Structure 1
Amino acid sequence: MAIPIGINILVAIAVFVIGKWIARKITDIIVVLLNKVKGMDETLVRFLENIIYYILMMVVVLTALSKLGVETTSFFAILGAAGLAIGLALKDSLGNFASGVMLIMFKPFKLGDFVTVAGVSGTVKEISIFSSVIITGDNQKMIVPNGAITSGTIVNVNANPTRRVDLLVGIGYDDDIKKTKDVLTNILESDDRIIHNKGLTVAVSELADSSVNFVVRAWVNTPDYWAVKFDLTEQVKLRFDKEGISIPYPQQDVHHHNQA
């Protein structure tokens, strides 16, 4: 009776040792292939490496137990039930994990990009498996779950090398439209940060209730966007004051009548 039991134990040990070696080799091969994928994140590779290895080891352990005569069907049933329970309990975390994998693989944004995601605007500081860290303009650290990011609209300000600056400028109905267009065009042409070969737009867009509105559009390199927008706004006010062009603003006249 001892001989068959001893043989089964030796076979189980052999299955475990050889299976562990095979599991490690398979995992290493998969890791090598993952590392060859362009843009694959190191954090994701390490996470997948651990998952793959432990799944393979689970198969090895169950196979070794079966060589000892242990009924493994019940183990699979228990593991299945446990996996279902864990999945239900961690469904939000698993959703964030899946979203993190998508962010790392498809890269809608990268570290250093200025984005608006899940109602938060700021610079991307970190992209991890379950959440991303956004640093706002006033230096607040916002930790945003990846599920919230992928379930909404992602605005990546730095995705393209150039951006268009749009201004809406209003003048009074008594002001000279042609003169105003010349002044606005001169302001744009005087700024070296503006990409002139992409075209400039200065046009009347609306005859509003109290003003004639102009659209002013120019293309700039993305890093220069806010500086150019602020400077153009300031220059418009300064030049309009110098040229005697009015900028209407809401006013209300109150008439008081004395009645005897």
Structure 2
Amino acid sequence: MENAQESAQRIYEQVITFATLYGGRIVLAILTLTVGLWLIGWITRLLSTIMTRRHVDRDVQPFLLSLVNGTLRVLLLLSIASTLGVATTSFVAIIGAAGLAVGLALQGSLANFAGGVLILIFKPFRVGDLISAQGFTGHVEAIRIFDTTLVTLDNKTTILPNGPLSTSAITNISTKGVIRVDQVYTVGSQNDIDITAASIRAVVDACPYALKDRDHDVLIARLNANSREYDVRVWTKSDTYWETHYYLLENMARQFGKDGIQAPKPQLYVTNE
């Protein structure tokens, strides 16, 4: 009976000692866990609201929120472990080493990921836009985290990695909705200037894709020994750029033939010395 009482007394004393040594830490850890989880939830909701207001792509929002939420939870666990007196130096070292190894192995993918996030946030182009980038011109079919898909004008699918795409020059042809088609026509200097200009103007005025509320230019750009160069500038919608381009080329050739506008003739000068 006395042995049982002594054992109970020792257990009671150990509990008191443990509570004295670690009770405050445990309470503080529970408080840290409660407040930390509430704070993480508040930060996540705030970030979601900000991304919604900035029209961040809805396909990207869950991924970013999960990434932020997971990172904050790991930091919270490390903080709680430190509060309980657990040495976190080794954990931090392991996490750092693992992060470095993964970063080195996936540095190209991480660069593409970062580029995709920047593109989706700042939106230099949108799905459906006609852009020129990385030596390719086409309509944007899809914008994903790691790459962007273009459909070129000859209906080929081109996949561009987002890393280089986010750091290089991009020409967004669709942004303004209106674009100018610039062409140069060279005719022989034997052709009358007014007749040539009127012939070019007739094609421009008849072009069904040329905007009626814009002024189109027919200008002499250069005078050569046996030829003249005309700059022709026609405004059209971004979606009909190529239709306008090819309409002008074909119908200009027809109109020149109809009006007798001749091409430059080679000249040979012979002198007697």
TM-score normalised by the chain length of structure 2: 0.80
Which position in structure 2 is the counterpart of 1:55? 71
Match of 1:165 among 155, 159, 181: 181
Q: State whether residues 173 and 211 of structure 1, in contact with CA within 8 Å, keep that contact through their aligned partners in structure 2.
A: yes
2:52 paired with 1:36 = yes
Which position in structure 1 is the counterpart of 2:271? none
SS in 1 for 2:148: strand
Match of 1:130 among 125, 146, 171: 146
2:110 paired with 1:94 = yes
Q: State whether residues 12 and 65 of structure 1, in contact with CA within 8 Å, keep that contact through their aligned partners in structure 2.
A: no
Which position in structure 1 is the counterpart of 2:128? 112
- Quote how far apart the aligned CAs of 1:54 are: 0.9
Match of 1:25 among 41, 44, 66: 41
Match of 2:91 among 51, 54, 75: 75
Match of 1:179 among 195, 209, 215: 195
Aligned CA distance change for structure 1 residues 218 and 138 (closer, same or farther; 3 Å):
closer
Which position in structure 2 is the counterpart of 1:202? 218
Which whole-Å CA distance do the structure 1 matches of 2:197 and 2:177 have between them? 28
Aligned CA distance change for structure 1 residues 129 and 62 (closer, same or farther; 3 Å):
same
Is 198-207 or 27-36 further displaced after alignment?
27-36
Which whole-Å CA distance do the structure 1 matches of 2:267 and 2:108 have between them? 55
Number of paired residues? 252
Query: 5+ unaligned residues in a row in structure 1: which ranges?
Result: 254-260
TM-score normalised by the chain length of structure 1: 0.84
| Rg comparison, structure with higher value | 2
Which position in structure 2 is the counterpart of 1:243? 259
Letter aligned with residue 53 of structure 2 = V
Which whole-Å CA distance do the structure 2 matches of 1:225 and 1:64 have between them? 62
Q: State whether residues 48 and 61 of structure 2, in contact with CA within 8 Å, keep that contact through their aligned partners in structure 1.
A: no
How many percent of aligned residue pairs carry the same amino acid?
31
Which whole-Å CA distance do the structure 1 matches of 2:151 and 2:32 have between them? 49
- Quote how far apart the aligned CAs of 1:24 are: 5.0
- Quote how far apart the aligned CAs of 1:27 are: 4.5
Which position in structure 2 is the counterpart of 1:258? none
Q: RMSD of the alignment, in Å?
A: 2.8
2:227 paired with 1:211 = yes
The one-character-per-residue Cα deviations of 1:197-238 (angstroms, maximum 9, x if unpaired) are 431211211123552211111211222222122112111111
Query: 5+ unaligned residues in a row in structure 2: which ranges?
Result: 1-13, 269-273
Letter aligned with residue 41 of structure 1 = D
Which position in structure 1 is the counterpart of 2:82? 66
The one-character-per-residue Cα deviations of 1:80-113 (angstroms, maximum 9, x if unpaired) are 3333333333322222222112211111110001
Q: State whether residues 218 and 230 of structure 2, in contact with CA within 8 Å, keep that contact through their aligned partners in structure 1.
A: yes
Q: State whether residues 209 and 243 of structure 2, in contact with CA within 8 Å, keep that contact through their aligned partners in structure 1.
A: no
Which whole-Å CA distance do the structure 1 matches of 2:83 and 2:118 have between them? 40
